[in-house]
Structure 1
């Protein structure tokens, strides 16, 4: 991609080659945990970071409403590391809930090699929730 750049105070124009980094949106589906302990739902490739675009949870069985913590890292829960929190989702009975959809390069980003974890608050479902994760990996 080539663009024209006009430098202030200079009458001449400069041709500048603009280099954009590749943007590759990745989507994965995983089964959620059926216990109340922490579970890793997505791990980046070695040496990369995850930038979240959107995470959506779907409950297909009628078991009630569940609260689910979503955060970066391997801490036992969101209360111990609130700075790494992404969201707390209230998944309704036979329904879905999702984080907001973040614009390109604006979503929460984990540290290098840091996974996304989830944990049920209170009781956990006996049928796993379906989790859809839209994300990018950055070096």
Structure 2
């Protein structure tokens, strides 16, 4: 993972950020949660019905239903926010280390909450 990060961002900034224990822990937790979400989706994919209740803010009925592929919105958006927040953390760590920590831990919480939502949706229908 470190090799990929140093290819995407300036190496000295990534190394400085990665040496911070809390940032390293939060990044690893987020990555582990994302891997487990994708594994959970792979394991349950075949047992999912063709229509799922996904859009709870819409009126009750068929408007709330969506295809199983829409379940990927949650982990992929978590991945997007994780990459964005980590990028911002890399460039803000030297001047604002607290802001970098907040960004990385916010990613962990976003990933965790998206995972809970996804698991609840799947457990609701299975």
Determine if the TM-score, normalized by the shorter chain, exceeds 0.5: no
Bin for the TM-score computed over the shorter chain = under 0.3
Larger % of strand: which? 1
Task: Kindly indicate whether structure 1 or structure 2 has the higher relative contact order, using CA contacts under 8 Å at least 6 residues apart.
Answer: 1
Q: Which is richer in helix? A: 2
